[in-house]
Chain A
């Protein structure tokens, strides 16, 4: 039945959305699911179920299968009619005689105890005595709860089933029910190590108990021996071989494949035609090949495994370091050799030395003359530590100074040097000046302005007024004559006037002088001229220029 249109219609009615959009949305969902399955991805939809893609190689051909397992709620809702039914054990056989044992329902709710005991029917409580042999085994309602997965051949085909089952016993076969008592399986114990005999009675139990008491010590020894050898035997013997013939085993999940559940329907990727032809193929997964044992694993088997973790680690270390064991063996050998040497001890010290030299233990001193004489350092200094205890003086590591500290120290030294030199200069020259040594030695202060001008060949001393006529002042500094152009109070003003004159191509100079009021003033002198007449003539010719500066 193609259901998609119906689904789309229901969604449209429910959510009142466009039919075309819903159709495309639903298509997208299913297409995305098929694409994911095609790519080998599993799909898990919590409301619906799980799709799994299983890859298998069968006869060299890689095949992929899709399995679908519905969610528990969905599976239970589908199986609503039979959910209350549980699997039942209908028949059990005695493992020793393969005799069919009768299974019978337990009548009373028993406590959860881990030992075996007899249970009697309520009706038969009064009738059954202790001597009645218990031939019937029953499994109570609350006895075994297990997630059971059984793989068995049934009707010629192998099926994988899984049951989350509660196994209990209903009364199936009640042939001997009236006169026989029930034997209950304990809650947690699944193996029954009890001899089921037809002539079992309380006397036998008493006899067995007394025998056990007398043979207690022997049994304990046997138990210890069996515990030590059990680890080795476990690898060799299968779990089934450990059981005695009388054991009754309730099927457990270990015997089957726990991963596959009953609802997993594994369908090979075959078309309908292929399915008909290949129905009888075995669908159980192939068992994995066991990896080959490496050499390390073989070594591990040599060392008996213990439950003590520390001992295991120790054994592991021993197995990983065989060289240490060899060293131990060598040490033992050397000890033995020492014993032999001590037995052949020489009588005197010289004999002992001779023996050692003969055995090349002590090397003879090198007396060859071909060797060049060694230096003192090679002979003694380098060998010095061999003859005495080397005095180890720990070297103090110099902490590197920071750059700031270095700069600070350098500047401090420079400042000190400068201060000392200045002090020396001042004291020395003052003393010399006071004593007239400078003058005698013709040492001059080079920074003296007066002496600076005195050194000039054109200027010797301060100018002298020689003529003042009609506002024109002529001064003379031997041997030249100057025209006084201006007198300024500060050097700046004088410099300006000098610059202006020089810009008009007039030669000039500045002369500083002190007035009677002890004030320094500056004269701007135009010149030099060789004589007063020349100076006067120049003044007349360039009067306009000189007056403009004034």
Chain B
């Protein structure tokens, strides 16, 4: 499912025009991105939680090449699906 399909599916039930709904859709995910970046965490009941986790600097051993690689620290985005979504998927299975 791509963004356009998702937008069309959501727009059927609303009274917004196509252009307005596209703008709202784009603004919505811009806001989600902004909040994740600023607040480090966001919770959407239908989807789940998005959070930023700091990974420390690490060393990895490449045994084939017999070398050690130093990985720099990194801020990663982690997604945890919500319990409701997990339960629904389990019920479907």
To the question of whether A and B form a pair in one complex, the answer is yes
Binding site for B on A (CB under 8 A): 1-4, 6-7, 10-11, 14-15, 17, 21-22, 24-34, 36-39, 41-49, 62, 64, 66-68, 70, 74-75, 77-82, 85-95, 98, 150, 152, 154, 161, 163, 167, 240, 248-251, 255, 262-263, 265, 267, 269-272
Q: Would you call A265 and B71 a contact (CB within 8 A)?
A: no
CB A282 to nearest CB in B, in angstroms, measures: 18
Q: Would you call A89 and B67 a contact (CB within 8 A)?
A: yes
Q: Would you call B62 and A46 a contact (CB within 8 A)?
A: no
Given contacts A25-B14, A79-B75, A90-B70, contact A7 B31 (CB under 8 A): yes
23 A-B pairs (CB sep. < 8 Å): A3-B42, A3-B43, A21-B15, A25-B14, A32-B6, A33-B6, A43-B1, A45-B2, A45-B6, A47-B30, A64-B93, A68-B77, A74-B33, A75-B76, A78-B37, A87-B71, A90-B68, A152-B60, A248-B66, A249-B64, A251-B69, A267-B79, A267-B80
Q: Would you call A15 and B32 a contact (CB within 8 A)?
A: no
Binding site for A on B (CB under 8 A): 1-3, 6-7, 9-11, 13-16, 20-21, 23-33, 35-37, 39, 41-47, 50, 52, 58-81, 83, 85-86, 88-90, 92-93
Q: Would you call B69 and A88 a contact (CB within 8 A)?
A: yes
Q: Which residues of A contact B58 (CB under 8 A)?
A: 154
What is the bound-complex CA distance between A21 and B27, given in angstroms?
15
Of A10, A21, A152, the residue contacting B14 (CB under 8 A) is A21
Q: Would you call A21 and B16 a contact (CB within 8 A)?
A: yes
Q: Which residues of B contact A44 (CB under 8 A)?
A: 1-3
What is the bound-complex CA distance between A357 and B52, given in angstroms?
101
Q: Which residues of B contact A94 (CB under 8 A)?
A: 66
Closest to A151 in B: B60
What is the bound-complex CA distance between A66 and B48, given in angstroms?
11
Of B14, B44, B66, B77, the residue contacting A75 (CB under 8 A) is B77
What is the bound-complex CA distance between A91 and B21, given in angstroms?
54
Given contacts A3-B35, A28-B9, contact A36 B1 (CB under 8 A): yes
Closest to A62 in B: B93
Q: Which residues of B contact A30 (CB under 8 A)?
A: 44-47
Q: Which 9 A-B pairs have the closest CB atoms?
A: A85-B72, A68-B79, A93-B66, A249-B65, A30-B46, A91-B68, A28-B10, A251-B62, A48-B29
